[in-house]
Amino acid sequence: MFKYALDLVTRRKLRTMLTSLGITIAVMLMTFILFGMTDLETAILTQFNAVFKPTDLYVSSQEVRGFGASQSAPTKDAQEQKEEVIINDEIKTKIEEIDGVVDVHPMFVLTGFEVYLEGDDVAYPSSFVQAMDIVGDDEMFGSFIGDEVVLEDTGIFVSDYVPSYFEMSNEEILGKKIILKSSSTPAFIASSSRGGIDREYEFIVQGVVDTAGESFWINTSRALDILVEAGGFEDKDEYIELIGYSQLLVRTQEGKTTDVEEYMTEKLGLNVISTKTITDFISTLTSGLTIALIVFGSISALVASIGIINTMIMSIYEQTKEIGIIKAIGASNRQVLIIFLIQSGLIGLIGGVVGLGVTFGLMQLADPFLVDLLQEQGFTAIEKFFHFQSVNAIYITLGSILVGILAGIYPAMKAARLDPVKALRYE
Amino acid sequence: MAYIEIKDLKRAYVMSKDVSVEALRGVSFSVDKGEFISVVGSSGSGKSTLLNILGGLDWEYTGDVIVDGENIKGSDPNFYRRYIVGTIFQQFHLIPSLNVEENILLPYKFSKRKGEDVNQRLEYILKMVGLEDRRKHLPKELSGGQAQRVAIGRALIDSPKIVLADEPTGNLDSKTGDSIISLLEDLNKKEELTIILVTHDQKIAKKTERIITLVDGKNV
């Protein structure tokens, strides 16, 4: 029966091809959605994991919007406590004493400063200045350009966006002067009721780091000096006691990360962002997007199935006499039904396989361009974007066959119910 | 006891609420096993209706059709069409995209018989209908007589007990028509097949052992 159904499909090649085209387009859309979204998620996570280690935890005193939903839920007491927590040296020491903690790196975020390149009157559009005791070859960077790897008090690392913004090469910006100007009142000064002082701080570019995001990095000692001076604090101790560190990078032993995260959240009332929290969030986000896109893709599958229904009904009219013949020589209604379902399933299969083939071809052609584009956007860890996903390919192929069969049910039932006497007389 | 017994067979077609046409109005006759008979009658006499009923295509009748002692109303229509009867049509009704072999073997695709030597049976049939050298030809590459021989081969492949031939020579010239009738006579003798041939041609009918004449839906 399969061979006979195959014969019916191949007998009308043009019609089969045109009907399959609907499925092909739907499959191409679905393939791009499923594969593209999975590959996009993989690309983001690959880059993320290249920059952030899964054993790293970021501790802050303030809730970080956007990831709150995927963080472990703190208790009510912990939440109340959390609002009052200042990440000072006492907290830092407590964290260092937690079993599984390797080391703790204080971090500052300097807000309210404008960043200038020497000889340039226009401030750099982003003024995200971080302070952390890092070295240029730190694992957190994708790559590093510069001679000095230790960030000195007068040194600054810039992301590779900065030289490109100033239209110079990564090498050209090395040794150039970067100036931080406190032109507005920093947030911490407003909260501590201290008067702001207009100041300028000069740095020499020590290195260019290739990483996602537009940032500047200075070392914590210099950052604290600036924050104390600009904020009008007595000394560093007073600043840490009253304002605290902006963030702590807590590096943990493998396998202990979750325990450390739970301890800091529940016992110390801190907001903790783990790599897992963020990767889970990315996965949730891409899954949600994928589902939404699949719904749109399904509409094209629906349109394609209507095409199959139309073709199959036309096919019944054309094959009426033949249906009469095969019934007269012993084909049962069930066998006629199966023949038509095989036909529509084959149309779905042809559409699916062609769609997958064309899409893979296009993906292979587009891949180098996409990789270049992503690398320009900071996704330096990406070497290949599209990957063949055999499981998704199987799902898509089975889905195409299923769409074909479902679309063929009504025409197949119509064919099966044909009266053989009338069918044989049909002209 | 006759092999086929047809008793008071009636068939009416309802055309509308108030109009119905009686195609068969009480046909009764019997056929012995291995007999070669013809049913003759003018257009509208009920020949085709009778053949449709005997061929298991039309079950909306009253009366009885008893084959080998069993009323066919109690049998499975598909089984009856597959294994009891083989039908030969005036227009051959071959599948244009299938070659001679494939057309002859088509009933096997719907048959549930297992363990039979299909090739042996095919060779036997091809030899019998004289198409051994045309086995790979498509219907469009055959003459009318050859196409009808393929149709005969197809009707015989599943070893039916009865062969129904609906105007098998109607689309053929007289010489080719004679050869087809000779083939049916051979089959009747060699295979001991019971053959019911429907025709409006008295000359053809006279070549059979017995003639049943239908007039206005009744046999006379």
ipTM: 0.87
What's the pLDDT score for residue A383?
79
Q: Measured between CB atoms, does B161 come within 8 Å of chain A?
A: no
Here the tokens at position B169 are 């020579």
DSSP single-letter state for residue A214: -
Structural contact between residues A116 and A184, judged by C-beta atoms closer than 8 angstroms: no
Q: E strands of A166-299, at which residues? A: 177-181, 200-210, 216-218, 247-252, 271-274
What's the pLDDT score for residue B158?
86
- Going by pLDDT thresholds of 50, 70 and 90, the confidence category of residue A65 is very low
- Taking the C-alpha atoms of residue A196 and residue A188, their distance in angstroms, rounded to an integer, is 10
One-letter amino acid for residue A164 of the chain: S
- Counted residue by residue, chain A has a size of 427
Structural contact between residues B9 and B59, judged by C-beta atoms closer than 8 angstroms: no
Is pLDDT larger for residue A336 or for residue B112?
A336
Q: Total domain count for chain B?
A: 1
Segments in A85-169 forming alpha helices (H): 89-96, 161-165
User: Domain range spanning residue B183?
Assistant: 4-219
- Label residues A85-98 b or e (16+ Cβ within 10 Å = b): bebbeebbebbeeb
What's the pLDDT score for residue A72?
32
- Taking the C-alpha atoms of residue B112 and residue B158, their distance in angstroms, rounded to an integer, is 10
**Helix H or strand E segment including A261:** helix A257-266
DSSP-derived pairing of the beta strands B194-199 and B36-41: parallel
A14-23, A376-385, B120-129 — which one is most confidently predicted on average? B120-129
How many other C-beta atoms can be found within 10 angstroms of the C-beta atom of residue A235?
10
Indicate if the pLDDT at residue A248 is higher than 80.
yes
Q: Is A245 exposed, middle or buried (0-12, 13-18, 19+ CB in 10 A)?
A: buried
Of A3, A11, A420, the CB nearest to B57: A420
CB within 8 Å: B93 and A328: yes
Mind listing the pLDDT tens digit for each residue in A20-63? 888 888 888 888 887 888 888 888 877 777 767 788 898 987 54
Indicate if the pLDDT at residue A95 is higher than 90.
yes
Q: Please, which residues have CB within 8 angstroms of residue A188's CB and are 6 or more apart in sequence?
A: A111, A227, A231, A243
Mutation site for B-interface testing, chosen from A16, A325, A329 by largest number of B Cβ within 10 Å: A329
Indicate if the pLDDT at residue A131 is higher than 70.
yes
What's the pLDDT score for residue A77?
45
Q: Please, which residues have CB within 8 angstroms of residue A24's CB and are 6 or more apart in sequence?
A: A351, A352, A354, A355, A358
Q: Is A386 helix (H, G, I), strand (E, B) or coil?
A: coil
DSSP string, B36-99: EEEEEE-TTSSHHHHHHHHTTS----EEEEEETTEEGGGS-HHHIIIIIEEEE-TT----TTS-
Provide the mean pLDDT of chain A.
Answer: 81
Listed as ranges, residues in chain B with pLDDT below 50 are: none
What's the pLDDT score for residue B202?
87
Here the tokens at position B204 are 């053809």
Mind listing the pLDDT tens digit for each residue in A70-89? 323 333 344 444 455 788 88
Q: How far is A311 from chain B (nearest CA, A)?
A: 19
Q: Measured between CB atoms, does B92 come within 8 Å of chain A?
A: no
CATH number of the domain residue B185 falls in? 3.40.50.300
Diameter over CA atoms, chain B? 56
- Taking the C-alpha atoms of residue B149 and residue A330, their distance in angstroms, rounded to an integer, is 19
- Taking the C-alpha atoms of residue A27 and residue A354, their distance in angstroms, rounded to an integer, is 9
Share of chain A above pLDDT 90, in %: 14
How many other C-beta atoms can be found within 10 angstroms of the C-beta atom of residue A146?
21
Average pLDDT of the segment spanning A183-206: 63
- Taking the C-alpha atoms of residue B32 and residue B3, their distance in angstroms, rounded to an integer, is 5
Q: Measured between CB atoms, does B81 come within 8 Å of chain A?
A: yes
One-letter amino acid for residue B74 of the chain: G
Q: For residue A337, what are the CA distances in angstroms to A145, A341, A408?
A: 69, 6, 9
Q: Measured between CB atoms, does A420 come within 8 Å of chain B?
A: yes
How many other C-beta atoms can be found within 10 angstroms of the C-beta atom of residue B29?
17
What's the pLDDT score for residue A197?
57
CB contacts, 8 Å: A321 with chain B = 93
CB contacts, 8 Å: A326 with chain B = 106, 110
Q: What are residue A157's phi and psi, to 5 degrees?
A: -100, 145
Q: Measured between CB atoms, does A152 come within 8 Å of chain B?
A: no
Mind listing the pLDDT tens digit for each residue in A338-372? 998 998 899 899 999 999 999 889 988 988 888 88
- Taking the C-alpha atoms of residue B101 and residue B122, their distance in angstroms, rounded to an integer, is 8
- Taking the C-alpha atoms of residue B207 and residue B182, their distance in angstroms, rounded to an integer, is 9
CA atoms within 13 A on the CB side of A63: 16
CB within 8 Å: A325 and B110: no
DSSP string, A16-57: HHHHHHHHHHHHHHHHHHHHHHHHHHHHHHHHHHHHS-TTEE
- Taking the C-alpha atoms of residue A247 and residue B189, their distance in angstroms, rounded to an integer, is 104
Share of chain A above pLDDT 70, in %: 86
Is pLDDT larger for residue A375 or for residue A91?
A91
**Helix H or strand E segment including A8:** helix A2-11
Size of interface A-B (CB pairs under 8 A): 53
Q: How far is A6 from chain B (nearest CA, A)?
A: 11
Structural contact between residues A93 and A293, judged by C-beta atoms closer than 8 angstroms: no
What's the pLDDT score for residue B213?
93
CB within 8 Å: B110 and A335: yes
How many other C-beta atoms can be found within 10 angstroms of the C-beta atom of residue A73?
10
Average pLDDT of the segment spanning A195-221: 79
Q: Please, which residues have CB within 8 angstroms of residue B72's CB and are 6 or more apart in sequence?
A: B56, B65, B66, B80, B84
- Taking the C-alpha atoms of residue A267 and residue A88, their distance in angstroms, rounded to an integer, is 16
What's the pLDDT score for residue B114?
60
DSSP-derived pairing of the beta strands A247-252 and A101-110: antiparallel
A92-106, A281-295, A372-386 — which one is most confidently predicted on average? A92-106
Mutation site for B-interface testing, chosen from A2, A9, A16, A325 by largest number of B Cβ within 10 Å: A325
- Taking the C-alpha atoms of residue A189 and residue A107, their distance in angstroms, rounded to an integer, is 18
